[in-house]
Structure 1
């Protein structure tokens, strides 16, 4: 894959230098280039003149470049590059830590909370992340806070003191020092530069550009969302998808619209401390950190999948803003049509979801919490499925099952399979959509089987399982291409 590897090994200097020399945006977010003569670090695609080799350094994260004393380029804004696909693909501790840091866990629970979630001491976790990523958890969180601060300065009229605390800083002094160090400008100067480019915030909302690595198969992605809209929780208006978000501090509503080179996000948040987590969850929902070129490298040469990949080279695997919600939706959808699942899920939201403080359009409720569904009693579905949902909800509520982006995927699979009513198909679907596992494959899925039959494959479980081994470690993408192929044929919603 461009600029990185699945095992997390940093590319060689020559590989990195060629990537930066080519100005190829596919490498943005994989690596960061820094120039010792200027003290600035950039994304590889920065249009600035390429420095001499002896003056160039490369780092695996923006935090590592900042820890080495470099400040962010004002021209290419390296902190705004698409995230590294490695943090989605890899299942090791460093990747799990990055997913939790990206969701703002350090701001909410500190490094001790992060280490506890991962099952390590703070000292050992610090050593591990520094060796792997060039920066410890505090530095990684600090880089994330700096990015959030810049977004708030550029997109809201909030007083600078309020921006500091909304971005997660413990003091205004710490905020000022960080902004000066990272961006070589005061907070006021960052805001003034953005004002000269024109306003981006409207009516109390924050508008962001969520970048991605081209190409993006937006039509297929938005069609997936449209087919599964749950009344009261989601809506689709033309090319604008809206939904309610349950965030760490409060409620929020997001609007997502595809645009050239980015997805336009309009966020209405009750608490601006939720800006970072909200943006991160939107990126996960749309799988914007994917690496289409790397995926094609693995799957394009396959005799069966190659034509599908070439037909839709920017196809994403739609993800989730909340793995628990995805798990419940998967159970509701067992052995029923997509339309029927939408109806039942809508009743769950209306009956057991938390009402919004103020409805927005047709959006009225948050998705039900684990506690709410654990005590729901009778649900609008067969008793066996009701028991499965309430059992899973109780297991999540009491901590027996972890459904979050920092959980160990193998452990989640094992804990889910121990629950009555949850079998391999449901587990693989939850891993694929909810946990972002790139190698999940629900091979018994009817849609996948029908797609394979249409491509000349025998509908035999052993045959399908053996075939899928060719697509490791990216079987989730193979599944999505098969589902999309079936939809293109008009055989599936």
Structure 2
């Protein structure tokens, strides 16, 4: 029997940067779990022990949820708002950046900036670790290999379903065989250490915690540094002021022709507080 589907309006803010947000997700979409096609972002998810799907049509401002449990609709409704950062205080962000010699002109060129969120904090953490010191495309390829080997295939997904699997949970990845997927031994150790830490509650993605507490817990995991922890804080904890100062793109793009040190970039970023995460996305778009 087909799962029931429910649609609701997305109520996009005026001037929402749909193309930029979709492009961000498209570059990172993991085959089998996510898909970006046209103006739509689609992914699989689990709620109350049952798998389903949701699809966000940013072009039409609609969300369709396909799931056996009615309560899943409210979960998706809430999560989609953070996934797309629909409640970002754009007026305050514009006032903060408008007077800045570097960010002001970029903001006028690129318009509203959103910090894309994530569906699941642990999934984002794994993806952040996979992305250390390699390109986004390479990290996506490795993530796809992990899905092909270790994902839970959704029993009621038909042969035409693009998002046919669920991302493995922490307990599964803590002991999974990750050899031969393109990961170094050190990176495998970090993925599994993070999975174990999440499994036993040493690391969690509760947005109520302070970023300082979260970063301290994350960086206690061997192989996770400040960059990875702050990147996760930006997207999973929704900290508008999280700032991965070690990011090489940011260190190069702020003063073209010069590569700033992480300390210099951290100092330069102080004038963008409390919206440094939005400065990150703006500078990444300009790079």
Bin of the TM-score, shorter chain as denominator length: over 0.9
In structure 2, the residue matched to 1:397 is 199
Q: Write the distance in 1 (CA, Å) between the matches of 2:178 and 2:22.
A: 33
Shift, 1:457, TM fit: 5.6
Q: Give the whole-Å Cα distance in 1 for the aligned partners of 2:223 and 2:84.
A: 29
Q: Is the 8 A contact 1:317 1:477 kept in 2?
A: yes
The match for 1:441 is 243
Cα separation, 2, equivalents of 1:324 and 1:264: 27
The partner residue of 1:357 within 138, 155, 158 is: 155
Aligned residue runs from structure 1 range 207-246, under 5 A: 207-246=7-46
Match of residue 81, structure 2, among 280, 283, 305: 283
Whether 1:310 and 2:111 are equivalent positions in the alignment is no
Q: Secondary structure at the match of 2:10?
A: strand
Name the SS of the counterpart of 2:155 in structure 1: strand
Q: Is the 8 A contact 2:40 2:59 kept in 1?
A: no
User: 3-state SS of the aligned residue for 1:245?
Assistant: strand
Larger relative helix fraction: 1
Q: Does the 8 A contact of 1:437 with 1:476 survive in 2? A: yes
Relative to the length of structure 2, the TM-score reads 0.92
- For the pair shown, the structure with the greater C-alpha radius of gyration is 1
2:269 corresponds to 1:471: no
Once structures 1 and 2 are overlaid, which stretch shifts more, 205-214 or 364-373? 205-214
- Higher-RCO chain (CA-CA 8 Å, sequence separation at least 6): 2
2:130 alignment partner, one of 332, 349, 352: 332
Change in 2 beyond 3 A, CA 1:443/1:339: same
The question of whether the paired residues in 2 share the 8 Å contact of 1:441 and 1:476 is answered with: yes
Matched with 1:323 is: 121
RMSD of equivalent CA atoms:
1.8
Partner of 1:254: 54
1:267 aligns with 2:69: no
Pair 1:388-2:190 in alignment: yes
Shift of 1:407: 3.6
Q: What number of residue pairs does the alignment pair up? A: 282
CA drift of 1:340 comes to: 1.0
Task: After superposing the two structures, state which structure 1 stretch, 474-483 or 432-441, moved more.
Answer: 432-441
* C-alpha distance in 1 between matches for 2:217 and 2:109: 38
Partners of 1:352 and 1:346 lie apart in 2 by: 10
Structure 2 counterpart SS, 1:363: coil
Counterparts of 1:50-449 in structure 2, within 5 Å, are 204-259=4-59, 263-359=61-157, 361-379=161-179, 380=181, 381-449=183-251
Contact map agreement 1:416 1:422 (CA 8 A) in 2: yes
Alpha-carbon spacing, 1:368–1:330, altered in 2? closer, same or farther (3 Å):
same
Give the deviation of 1:315 after TM superposition: 1.7
Provide structure 2 residue ranges, at least 5 long, that are not aligned to the other structure: none
* In 1, Cα distance between equivalents of 2:280 and 2:76: 27
Tell me, what secondary structure is at the counterpart of 2:55?
strand
Query: 1:27 — aligned with what?
Result: none
Check 1:370–1:458 CA distance in 2 against 1; reply closer, same or farther (3 A cut).
closer
Q: Deviations over 1:400-438 (max 9, x none)?
A: 111233444322111101110000111111111121110
In the alignment, structure 1 segments of 5+ residues that lack a partner are 1-201, 487-493
Offset at residue 375 of structure 1 (A): 1.2
Q: CA–CA distance in 1 between the matches of 2:211 and 2:263?
A: 24
TM-score, normalised by the number of residues in structure 1: 0.55
